[in-house]
Structure 1
Amino acid sequence: MQNAITELEELTLNGASRSFLKETAKWCKFLSIMGFIFTGLMLVGSFFIGALYENLPQTQAMPFNVGGMMTGFYLVCGLIYIFPIYYLYQFSVKMKKALISKDNDVLAKAFEMLKSHYKFIGVFTIIILSIYILAAVVGIIGLVASS
């Protein structure tokens, strides 16, 4: 007789599960390729947007270089976004390979890549929400101080 832990370690994929995972891998590959393309466009476009901001007429003197700041912002955003796209692409490739070869180790690596993708997106979301909350607090303090 097997204990509960051993029973939980045995998980088989039926035909429907394999089909769903195969379709999911295809969509993930499509989305990751589109992500790579748009991230590349963002990185290339970051230099053009900086030049665009530099050529706009200045209505008032800016204490900093707006064009350079925009270039830096888009470069950082593009570089950050490469990681979750890479994880998603690796999931799709490894999942397809695991379904063809029926290799549990490759399947585990595929799910590890999916976990990394969602972990990155989750941590990044927490960071962005924290920045929004901090900006709101600073804004409220600024309103209160100016009244």
Structure 2
Amino acid sequence: MPNPITQLEQLTLNSNSKSFLREISKWTFFFAILGFLSSAFLIIAAILIATMYAPMFEVLGQQQGIPFLGFVGAAIYAVSGILYVVPVWYLFQFSRKMKLALATKNDDTLADAFMMLKSHFKFIGVFTIIVISLYVLLIVFSLVVGSLI
């Protein structure tokens, strides 16, 4: 016996749902702008570390026995800033398309908006799995090296 929900050919949004989606699009726009600014600050920090603060980091790296400390720090900040742009862009696109879909009452634009939201969370999810995996590898590596010393 088929499920009654799967028999629906369309899903309608009531006024409460539209109001919630309109408010969500405002908040996602706000967070997207903050994300773009954060990404810009990370890239600016990478440039500063690679140029102005490079001599200080090199001296510190030589004292600690870590070569290329300034370059590694700058690279980490630059890669973080560039990676952070991707999910923020998806969030920005969701906000923009959701506002447009609610204004024009266009189902295709609404579907595109939700596709952007799905892409945002998919990127964040995959990235989180990668980071957790790197943490686990780092802990295992530290335990192995620590037991050898």
SS of the residue 2:12 aligns to: coil
Aligned to 2:73: 70
Give deviations 1:95-144, integer Å, cap 9, x for gaps: 00000011000000000000000000000000000000000000111122
Give the TM-score normalised by the residue count of structure 2.
0.89
Aligned to 1:23: 23
Aligned to 2:53: 52
Superposition map of 1:1-147 within 5 A: 4=4, 5-7=6-8, 9-50=9-50, 51-56=52-57, 57-58=59-60, 60=63, 62-146=65-149
> How many Å separate the matches in 2 of 1:3 and 1:117?
30
Structure 1 alignment gaps of length 5 or more: none
> How many Å separate the matches in 2 of 1:96 and 1:61?
53
Whether the aligned pair in 2 keeps the contact of 1:54 and 1:66 (CA below 8 Å) is no
Give the TM-score normalised by the residue count of structure 1.
0.90
> How many Å separate the matches in 2 of 1:138 and 1:62?
19
Superposition deviation, residue 64 in structure 1:
2.0
Give identity over the alignment, percent. 41
> How many Å separate the matches in 1 of 2:77 and 2:99?
33
Letter paired with 1:54: P
Give deviations 1:26-83, integer Å, cap 9, x for gaps: 0000110111112111111211123325325436263521111111110000000000
> How many Å separate the matches in 2 of 1:38 and 1:138?
31
> How many Å separate the matches in 2 of 1:88 and 1:138?
36
